[in-house]
Amino acid sequence: EAMQTQDNFLKKYPRFTLFLIGTIFVQIGHTLPSSFMYQIILEKNGTAEHQGIATAVCALSELPIMFSFAWLLKKVNCDRWVRIGALCMILKNVIILQAVSPAGVYLAQATQMVGFGLYTVSVVTYAELVVDKGESVRAQSYMGAMGTIGSLISNSIGGTICQYYGVQTMVLVGLVTATI
């Protein structure tokens, strides 16, 4: 009976179901460069120290957008913030591909503010808006599950791609999946 309830939920919200599938692809595009940042930094002639800085830039840049999200919602509708967040996650991969040094990767990591940071908080609100009252917890649970699925896929394939096809190919795969 529980499986039927889940099936009914997904059938009831077909556009949200497509959004969930898209979330998997966006998460793959985000997690590939995030999980393999050390390999990316080495490719850009950096060291473990540069990788630490890049990761710190990434983590710290998310906080302002997350704390100001309630204010941002007063300025622009949530669905637009979701789109902006996803586009900036694509942009992060583009900048990493173009980077020739760790400094370029730092710039890419700064897009995390309006990329993953914005996307993460806006999809929770979006999930609440697109389902009926009382079903937002289920919608948000599905969002979390899809993020986990995307992370598992990217962590499962990222190392193999890096090892056999190179770091740039791995970032390109991230770009393509996030764009999907």
Write the CA distances from 176 to 89, 94, 166, integer angstroms.
11, 10, 16
User: Scanning the structure block, which residue is given the tokens 């080495």?
Assistant: 42
pLDDT value of residue 101: 97
Say which amino acid occupies 42: L
pLDDT value, residue 150: 96
First-residue to last-residue Cα distance in the chain:
33
pLDDT tens per residue, the chain (180 residues)? 555 555 688 899 999 999 999 999 999 999 999 999 999 999 999 999 999 999 999 888 888 998 999 999 999 999 999 999 999 999 999 999 999 999 999 999 999 888 998 999 999 899 888 899 889 899 999 999 999 999 999 999 999 999 999 999 999 999 999 999
Residue 8: predicted pLDDT: 87
Other Cβ atoms closer than 10 A to 76: 11
**Contact at 8 Å (CB) between 114 and 65?**
yes
Cα dist from 111 to 9, 81, 117, 155, whole Å = 34, 14, 9, 21
